[in-house]
A = this chain, B = another copy of it.
Amino acid sequence: MPKYVDIAQDIEQWIKDQDLLQGTKLANITTLADQYAVSKNTILKTLQVLEERGVIYQVQGSGIFVRRNKRRGYISLIQNKGFSDDLQMADEASVVITLASVPATKEIALNLQCALESSVYLVERVHSIRGQVFCFEQSYYTKELVPFLSQAIVEESIFDYLEKGLQLQIGFSDKYLKIIPAKDQIAKHLALQPKDPVLFIEEVYYTTNGKPFDFSKNYYHPEYSQFFIQS
């Protein structure tokens, strides 16, 4: 992990430990550089990471301030950059239900820009937090970019494997949200009644070259899921 990401993680943890309020002024760049014994340039990169993560905001000519209006228990809808949100998600558990190769339907082929009927990976997982299931996930991976997945891999962080194992450069994502009535299978996984409303989020993840590699359909429990977006 690059030094500036390490420092960002350290500062974020420190803000949490100290329970600093939104608007609290932090040390300036020179002081932070001295404190961590790194260049100002490294601190500038650190601040960029923290700003992207919604941990701080910078006011020109005035300083660096804590941004901390996140409410507890809300799931971020913005792609995490730099490092995972382990701390917030400490109580999260995922169970793999399915790992299989399936032929691409029209919908999958369109989203993954692969040939109809070509073989893609399907990973189905159920995510829970403090023992409560809040999400049923169906993810499809194109074999052109993800030629191999195993039970061991999908039980850990798939994105970690893609980045570190496959050296995939993860670029951007499109996410689509709407409320839909739960179909029988979905309702069952989420312990809901059929036709109960669920938040349905479709996601397409692209490499930095603009190639889609992951198309996911996520079904969220209406009571146990809430989300935030910092922009």
Contact = CB atoms under 8 A, between A and B. Distances in A.
Most buried by B among A74, A175, A177: A177
Interface string A170-201: 01111111110000000000000000010100
A23 B226 CA distance: 33
Given A57-B210, A59-B210, A231 B172 contact: yes
A67 to B, nearest CB: 7
Interface string A156-182: 000000000000000111111111000
Report how many copies the assembly holds. 2
A18 interface: no
A229 B203 CA distance: 9
Interface string A36-75: 0000000000000000001001011010010101110010
A151 interface: no
Contacts of A178: 222, 225-227
Contacts of A199: 177, 179, 199
A35 interface: no
Given A54-B174, A178-B222, A178-B226, 17 more contacts: A23-B210, A57-B171, A65-B210, A71-B176, A77-B77, A77-B229, A78-B229, A79-B231, A173-B231, A175-B230, A176-B227, A176-B228, A177-B226, A179-B179, A179-B197, A179-B199, A179-B223
Query: Which 9 interchain pairs have the tightest Cβ spacing?
Result: A197-B197, A178-B226, A179-B222, A175-B229, A177-B227, A79-B231, A69-B174, A78-B231, A176-B228
6 contacts: A173-B230, A174-B228, A175-B228, A177-B199, A177-B227, A197-B222
